[in-house]
Structure 1
Amino acid sequence: MVWPETKRDIKTFYRQMVLTHTFVLLLVLILSSSLVQGQLPVITPGIAKTADKTSDPDEPSDLKTEANRWTSFLGNHRNGISDETGLNLNWNVHKPAVLWRVPLGGGYSSMVIAEGRLWTMATHLTKDFVVCFDARSGKKLWTTEAAPTYIDHQKQASGPRSTPTYHAGKLYCLLPAGDLLCLNAKSGKVLWKVNIFQISGAPRQEEQTLYYWGMSASPLIEGDLVILQPGGNNNNSVIAINKDTGKLVWGAGNDPPGYGSPIVIDTLDQRQIIVPTGSSILSLNPAEGSLLWRIVWGNKYNCNCATPVWNDESLFISSAYGTGCMRFALFRQNEEIRPISQWKSLSLQNQFATSMINDGYIYGPHGDLAAVTYRCLDMQRGKIQWQTRRVGKCTQIAAEGHLICLTEQGTLILVEANPTEYREKGKLTGLLSFKAWAHPALANRRLYLRDEKRLICLDLQKK
């Protein structure tokens, strides 16, 4: 340090000393303050990195678009067809990578995806749970106990069968014994819970027959209503519940329950809820549940499992166990809506997978307890275009003119929707090993699959 020699230097010196002491005092105060210290960043030399946004499910604005969600059973439109583009659809050249794999309990519940989260249901030990994961990383975010584990009379399987429905920040989850939960989708908190057999007065099917495998139809949100199907013979086969309170609004029909999920259509200036019951296809007016039309459809097991498909102003339905398939149109006659069959055939019998319709052709698995083939039908006439045994019993969805088929053994097969021939674009084996009956889900160019033991995510981003 250089000492001052003149009066001017002395003044300058003391001024510098005061400033120095003031700076030191401020620095000590900053370092001793826990509030400020906790906000100080750790500085690491090097190139600045973009913040990793995959860890916060609330953040991604790109996931808020309809195409990047999968909000209910069979997707946003409940027909299994994704709106996504830019997908890798040539697996023979570019094999999709497995992004993550996590353990999961038993059940056949499929997945729904929104706001960067994924929800499904599974069984563990003696309880069935609703489970939430980060859709990008596979990190488990929460689990909510939903109901005691369900096992059917024939002990075919345990755990949930239906798929949650996501709507406006809430999850609607139906368990096999009729427990219906409304959850906060972000936290997993139960907002309300009812049992649809208790509030409707419909009898439990376990008391009616051995050939019953639990509530499997996924909830449908229509306006302020949740549409469900307990199955009853006193205007309580199908019911509507207020989605905010869980209170019963109306009941309709006198059929046993089916396993396929209801859909909603708009045609002939009439909004219609289409429900596959155990013995029919019902059309109901959403406002008050009044019957618009009904056709007899079913088999001795009351086992209608595939969901009806609305396409080109007509409905396509299909069931196994000797039932067959039918395409029919709807017409107004004397101010009433009537279904008119355009053709009926035994050529395609869906056991539990819903058929996909692409450019006027129908694709799906045919068969039940014996050998199962995969078939393509002409939608205009119902004629078989081709069939193959290379796929077999499977679930499926569709995207960009391709069928994504998951066999019950856990093999994933990509098939071009080509009416002239079976054209396989790739096959992935060994992804899953236990019974895989849950339908795939596709969101943000990621494919989600599950069996009774695990949940996996594949990258379908086009390379």
Structure 2
Amino acid sequence: MLRLSVVQVTIALCLVSISTRHMSAAEVHWPGWLGPERNGWVNSFRPPTRWPERLAQNWQVEVGAGYGSPLVADGLVYQHTRQGEDEVVWCIDLNTGDIKWRKSYATPFKIGGGGERHGKGPKSTPVLADGRLFTLSITGVLHAWDAVSGEQLWRRDYRSRFKTNQPYWGVSTSPLVDGNRVVVHFGTDDVGALVALDVQNGKEVWSHGNDGPSYSSPLLVQLHGVRQIIEWNHRALVGVESASGKQLWEYPFPHEGHNQNMPTPTFHNGRVLLGGENRGIHSLQPQLKSGVWTVKEQWHQRKVALDMSSAVVNGDLLYGFSHYDTGRLFCLDTKTGEVLWQGPPRTGANVAFLSVPGHVVALLSDGRLQIIAARGDRFETVATYRVSESPTWAPPVLLEHGVLVKNNRTVTRLAW
């Protein structure tokens, strides 16, 4: 496998024809947090036989701050950002970078002490479904937009119910859509509810519990024949029936002091892989016997832990970023919990992962994009690219022949 040194992105025209771009653009579908299955797996991407030495910039649009990932559907890119005291929603042509529409609304916000370096958001990634775009502000206000025209369809603000409607450092959970319901956890650190709203009009369909939200995002899975939402809130990991909001099971795993509940859990082979700051990683198996749900802990390892970064699975291996040793990439066996390898220490503050056949794509928060071999016997970097000179906390989006990268000012399309 070719090994490449860190290279600067060359500002150049892509050599792929315009007609090919238009054909591939419509095929890319990245509708929400970590993709269609919310697991970081990229179905539309096939790794090149030989990774290029440098990337070409197709276009770049200055959109503003925020940690939300770009979304892609029907040849359009959607981005949720902040400019000054406004949050802004963008629709951009994937092929040309032309702005199709832009909507903004005032969202003043004072971030909790210690979180200033992360800015005022937004930190939530929107979700697309059936021609609608749903955005969740740093203050916990949910907007529904027409994805084609940008018209605001409806707005829901739960601050009248929960006084304030965000945890200490602002909302970072990302909404999900299941059928005709958009699901969001509203509330403060101390009290809140997981709520399902009708996608057409924003009316409440069901409300579950009274726990406050965490900084994690929910999953939608099929488990023992039941379609359910797996969510890690401020107090526990819970399984909730998607259609009714009925709680099926829970595993206490509370936010404690500085140990935040932040990463999105990983679901693999009927198990939930849950990692928390300074608390290692657990493998949990929800079980259903004679109509009763229980949760069995398969293993718990303490050698590595997850802070803000969400891990991904490739094969039966989990790839993640431990905050120990000032940041280290790692790989562990999902069956046993054995840590198979760790990368060098002092890697950085955060990594956003995607998973593709034979490789794991890792966007480091310092603007480096690493292509890592998906193997358990050793840590192997196949290629490294410098894709930004400013911080990159938003997960990237892989295209057929390139990648979308959001930093703290711009969204950029780069080509392999």
Give TM-score scaled by structure 2 length.
0.89
Alpha-carbon offset, residue 301 of structure 1? 4.0
What is the CA–CA distance in structure 2 between the aligned matches of 1:105 and 1:365, rounded to whole Å?
26
What is the CA–CA distance in structure 2 between the aligned matches of 1:301 and 1:238, rounded to whole Å?
23
Aligned position for 2:389: 433
Alignment of 1:391-430 (within 5 A): 391-392=347-348, 393-429=350-386
The one-letter amino acid of 1:128's match is E
Deviations 1:296-353 (A, max 9, x none): 1133246222111111121111121x12211111211231222211001223322222
Alpha-carbon offset, residue 354 of structure 1? 1.1
1:305 aligns with 2:262: yes
Further displaced range: 448-457 or 381-390:
381-390
Alpha-carbon offset, residue 389 of structure 1? 2.1
Aligned position for 1:168: 130
What is the CA–CA distance in structure 1 between the aligned matches of 2:313 and 2:70, rounded to whole Å?
22
- Structure 2 unaligned runs (5+)? 1-16
How many residues are paired up?
394
Alignment of 1:87-166 (within 5 A): 87-88=47-48, 90-91=50-51, 93-154=52-113, 155-156=116-117, 157-166=119-128
Aligned position for 2:164: 204
When the two chains are superposed, the root-mean-square deviation of aligned CA atoms in Å is 2.3
Q: Highest relative contact order (Cα 8 Å, sep 6+), 1 or 2?
A: 2
Alpha-carbon offset, residue 174 of structure 1? 0.4
Give TM-score scaled by structure 1 length.
0.80
Quick one: which of 334, 346, 360 aligns to 1:379? Answer: 334
What is the CA–CA distance in structure 1 between the aligned matches of 2:210 and 2:55, rounded to whole Å?
47
The one-letter amino acid of 1:116's match is G
CA 1:234–1:215 in 2, change beyond 3 Å: closer, same or farther?
closer
The one-letter amino acid of 1:80's match is G
What is the CA–CA distance in structure 1 between the aligned matches of 2:124 and 2:40, rounded to whole Å?
15
Aligned position for 1:219: 175
What is the CA–CA distance in structure 2 between the aligned matches of 1:162 and 1:371, rounded to whole Å?
25
CA 1:100–1:87 in 2, change beyond 3 Å: closer, same or farther?
farther
Alpha-carbon offset, residue 104 of structure 1? 2.2
Higher strand share: 2
Aligned position for 1:457: 413
CA 1:395–1:196 in 2, change beyond 3 Å: closer, same or farther?
same
CA 1:166–1:306 in 2, change beyond 3 Å: closer, same or farther?
same
What is the CA–CA distance in structure 2 between the aligned matches of 1:307 and 1:139, rounded to whole Å?
33
The one-letter amino acid of 1:378's match is D
Aligned position for 1:274: 230
Secondary structure at the aligned position of 2:376 is classed as coil
CA 1:411–1:149 in 2, change beyond 3 Å: closer, same or farther?
farther
Alpha-carbon offset, residue 106 of structure 1? 0.9
The one-letter amino acid of 2:141's match is D
Alpha-carbon offset, residue 131 of structure 1? 1.0
Give identity over the alignment, percent.
24
Contact 2:162 2:191 survives alignment (8 Å): no
The one-letter amino acid of 1:70's match is W
Alpha-carbon offset, residue 294 of structure 1? 0.8
What is the CA–CA distance in structure 2 between the aligned matches of 1:348 and 1:52, rounded to whole Å?
45
Contact 1:230 1:239 survives alignment (8 Å): yes
Deviations 1:362-420 (A, max 9, x none): 1110017x611111111111111111127443111111221111111111111111100
Higher helix share: 1
Alignment of 1:281-296 (within 5 A): 281-296=237-252
- Largest Rg, 1 or 2: 1
Contact 1:70 1:443 survives alignment (8 Å): no
Further displaced range: 233-242 or 172-181:
233-242
